[in-house]
Amino acid sequence: MPHGSLLIEFATAVIEGDANERARTREMLHRTLGPAALVDAAAVVASFNAVVKIADATGIPLEDYKAAATADLRHQLGLDRLER
Amino acid sequence: MTTAPAPTGSSATLLPAALAHAMRPALAYERERAWHRLASAGTWFSGEQRLAIAAESRRAVQCKLCRTRKEALSPYQVDGAHDSLGQIDPPLVEVVHRVTTDAGRVTRRWIESLLERGLPDTHYVEAIGIVAVITALDTFDRALDLPQRPLPAPIAGAPIRSRPPGAQRNLAWVPTVAPDALTPTDLNAFSVHGDKNIHRALSLVPQEVLTFFDLDVELYLKDQQIRDFDHEFRALSHAQMELVAGRVSSLNGCYY
C-alpha cells in the first residue's frame, strides 16, 4: 500500500494524538502526497469518525450481504459473541 | 446562508492558501451547507436547540463523568452528573455526551431507558444526526489544523414536526423507514444517497439522513463510487481511503 504507514499515522494522530503529533503527521503527508491528498485524507477521517456514531447509536445491523461476506472472519475473531 | 471566517492555518509550513486551493468545490459547498443546516430549524428542534446540541457535543469532550466512563470497564455502572452547558434537558445531555465520547458502547437497554424517561425517539434520532454532523465538521478542521469554527447564529424558523407513518422498529434499536414503507407525503430520505442500512439508520427523521449524507459523500464517496474500482475519484486511491477508514473505525471500536 503506497504510503500506508503514513496514512495510518495521520488518522491515528487526528483521532487520538496531541497537537504536536497531528502537526508532524500532517506536514509529512502534505510534503509526501501533496495538499489535495491531505485534504482528502482529512475528509475520510472526518467521515468515519462521524458515521460510526450513527451506526453505534442506532444499532443498525450489517446488511445481509456484508454479514455473509464476513461470516468466517467474525467467527474466527469471536465477534458474534459480543452482544450489546 | 450563514458564513464563518475564512480558515486560517497555524502550521508554519502548511499555508491556508494551499489548503484552499486543494479543497474540492463540492466539499467546500457541502461544509457550508452543513453549517447552515445545523443552525436552521430541523424536524423536531429549532435552530437554537440544534446549535445547543452541537455546543453540548463539543462540551462533552471536557466532561469529567464522560472521561471516567470512557476509562471504565463497565461504563453503565458509573453514575454522576455531566459537565453540561445547561441549555438542553438532562436526558438529551446524556445522549449527546455518551454518543460523542463513547458511542461504541451504546446499548439497546440504554436507549430504551432514555425513551422510558420521556425522551421521544424522534428527538433522540435528530440529536444523533446533529452530533454526527458537528463531529464530522470539527474533525475535518482539526485534521487540517484549522481553528474550531464558532457556532453560527441560529436561523429563525419552526421545526416541521413530521413523523413518517411507516416507521417501524424492526431493523435497528430505533424505528426506521423501509423504502417500501414510504408514503406520498414522506420526505424520501433514500432518493439521493441510497437505502443501505446506514442510510436507514436515521430515517425516522428523514431530513437528518439527507443532512448527514449530503456532507458525507463529499468527505468520503458517493455510494456508487465506493465499489467503482475502475475509477479513482479523489487524490487518494480507493485502497488508501479504505485504509484510513478502517483505521478510524478501529480506533472508534465501530462494529458496523
* Greatest alpha-carbon span in chain A: 44
Does A7 touch chain B if contact means CB atoms closer than 8 Å?
yes
B111 contacts in chain A (CB < 8 Å):
57, 59
**How many angstroms separate the CA of residue A72 from the nearest CA in chain B?**
15
Whether the per-residue pLDDT at A79 is higher than 70: the answer is: no
Q: Do B202 and A36 touch (CB under 8 A)?
A: no
- Mean confidence (pLDDT) of chain B: 92
Assess contact for A60 and B225: CB atoms under 8 A: no
From the list B197, B99, B248, B30, the residue with the least C-alpha distance to A48 is: B248
Q: Each residue of B188-211: pLDDT tens digit?
A: 999 999 999 999 999 999 999 999
* Position with higher pLDDT, B69 vs B21: B69
Taking an 8 Å cut-off on Cβ atoms, the answer to whether A51 and B198 are in contact is: yes
Q: Give the residue from A30, A32, A51 with the most B CB atoms within 10 Å of its CB, the best one to mutate.
A: A51
Q: Which residues of A touch B198 (CB under 8 A)?
A: 51, 54-55, 60
Query: Is it the case that residue A36 has pLDDT exceeding 60?
Result: yes
For A58, the closest of B174, B245, B252 (CB atoms) is: B174
Instruction: List Cα–Cα distances, A77 to A70, A81, B69, B195, in angstroms.
Output: 11, 9, 26, 29
> Within 10 Å of residue B190's Cβ, how many Cβ atoms?
19
Query: Residue B240: pLDDT above 60?
Result: yes
Work out the average pLDDT over B27-50: 97
Q: Which of B111, B136, B256 sits opposite A60 (nearest CB)?
A: B256
The residues near A75 (Cβ < 8 Å, ≥ 6 apart) are none
Interface contact A39-B24, CB threshold 8 A: yes
- Counted across chains A and B, CB pairs separated by less than 8 A come out at 212
Question: By the 8 A CB rule, do A8 and B243 touch?
Answer: yes
Residue B75 clears pLDDT 70, i.e. is over it: yes
Residue B3 has pLDDT above 60, yes or no: no
The residues facing B118 across adjacent strands are none
pTM, 2 dp: 0.91
Whether A84 and A55 have beta carbons less than 8 Å apart is answered as no
Asked whether B211 and B37 are in contact (CB, 8 A), the reply is yes
Instruction: Test A36 with B144 for CB contact under 8 angstroms.
Output: no
Q: How many CA atoms lie within 13 A of B110 on its CB side?
A: 23
A6: helix, strand or coil:
helix
CA B138 – CA B135 distance, rounded (Å): 5
Exposure class string for B104-135: b at 16+ Cβ within 10 A, else e: bbbeeebbeebbeeebebbbbbbbbbbbbbbb
B238 interface with A at CB cutoff 8 Å: no
CB contact under 8 A, A4 and B240: yes
- Whether A33 has its CB under 8 Å from any CB of chain B: the answer is yes
pLDDT surpassing 70 at residue B13? no
A68 part of contact set with chain B, CB < 8 Å: no
Strand, helix or coil for residue B176? strand
